[in-house]
Amino acid sequence: MGCSTMGTDFPGTGWEDLDPKAAGIDPAALARLTEALRTLTTTSFMIVSRGRVAYRYGEVSEVSYLASTRKSILSLLYGPHVAAGCIDLSLTLEQLGIDDVKGLLPQERRATIRDVLTSRSGVYYPAGSPGGDDEGTPQRGTYAPGTRFHYNNWDFNIAGAIFEQLTGIAVHDALRDQLAIPLGFEDFDRGRQRMLGYPDRSRFLAYHMFLSGRDMARVGLLTLRGGRWNGQQIVPESWVRESVAPHVRPEDMQGRFADRGLGYGYYWWLPMQSQAPEWEGAFLASGHYGQFILGLPRLDLLMVHRRAISDDRAMRRNAGIDLGDLPSVSSTQMVELGQAVLDARA
């Protein structure tokens, strides 16, 4: 994967605009994109080219639930602490003293932090929050750690607990201090970040995040630029490269994620359907309902999609209250939107 080094522009207290023509984007094609977004449940959409906003749709300042997009952000939070030696990815759950309400199997205890970060822990313990591939969950003990991809929230939730155990820093405080402050988030509220889930099922709940689209774009731009922001290395470049490298190939995907053309890094999805050079090194943060950050490093191009939902709905969903699902935008549709933006380039 090649992290972008083309761009040097970063937002200050606010985002600067870029004429679409200067970004090489046909304005007529953007009008068609707007019509396409109106047919979806999209509440906001941004295109950032070379560090400036070439297109915005909807209210990009609206703060809403990130769902699983939070996992890619947690991956970024890990980087400085891995580099500092505080987090050793080879440590096992047994060495960390991690167990759960009904106990882990001896085989499950052998999973490493690296296995957890690639969703290959082999721990099929019921998660303390919704959102994983629950229907496709194998029986416990079926697969050894590191041998099979299974998208599950137990891994994601335990990653937050491991972070806090080894760094002594609360995940949401790290979000504020490692990203929100140095990147200049415009809409960040520490009080809205919260843990949600089912404590009677698992000791490890979900570290949920609530951000605006324009602050998600800052996260995406940081990743595009290899962890660098205005001359400061916020996240080690080597960690960014490793995080968005394909540790799991599309052909190794299981369950509902098979046949989507997506690989997986350290909590980043990797669109690998296209052989076109524009898609080389692409990365995607993906969350339920339609929360996405799509980066195309070869073009220094970034897109952010939101399908905002209320905090109340997010909390009720994570309390296990069945509200029925809402019309959403899928990762496949997001990749199609990304291709539409590429096709709009004059």
Backbone dihedral region for residue 115 (phi beyond 0: left; psi -120 to 50: alpha; all else: beta): alpha
Check residue 2 and give its pLDDT.
Answer: 44
Check residue 133 and give its pLDDT.
Answer: 63
Check residue 5 and give its pLDDT.
Answer: 45
Check residue 1 and give its pLDDT.
Answer: 42
pLDDT digits (tens, 9 = 90+) for 281-307: 999 999 999 999 999 999 999 999 999
Type of residue found at 110: R
Is the pTM of the predicted complex or chain greater than 0.85? yes
Among 11, 13, 55, residue whose Cα is nearest residue 34: 55
Sign of CA dihedral 280, 283, 288, 292: negative
Question: What separation, in Å, do the N-terminal and C-terminal C-alpha atoms of the chain show?
Answer: 26
CA distance 273 to 264: 13
Q: Which domains, from first to last, does the chain contain?
A: 27-343 (3.40.710.10)
pLDDT digits (tens, 9 = 90+) for 192-221: 999 999 898 999 999 999 999 999 999 999
H helices of the chain, in order, are: 27-38, 69-83, 93-96, 113-117, 153-167, 171-174, 181-183, 213-224, 237-243, 311-318, 331-343
Check residue 128 and give its pLDDT.
Answer: 84
Check residue 132 and give its pLDDT.
Answer: 66
CA 30 to chain centre: 26
Low-confidence ranges of the chain (pLDDT < 70): 1-7, 132-134, 346
CA 89 to chain centre: 19
Residue indicated by tokens 């950050």: 293
Check residue 321 and give its pLDDT.
Answer: 85
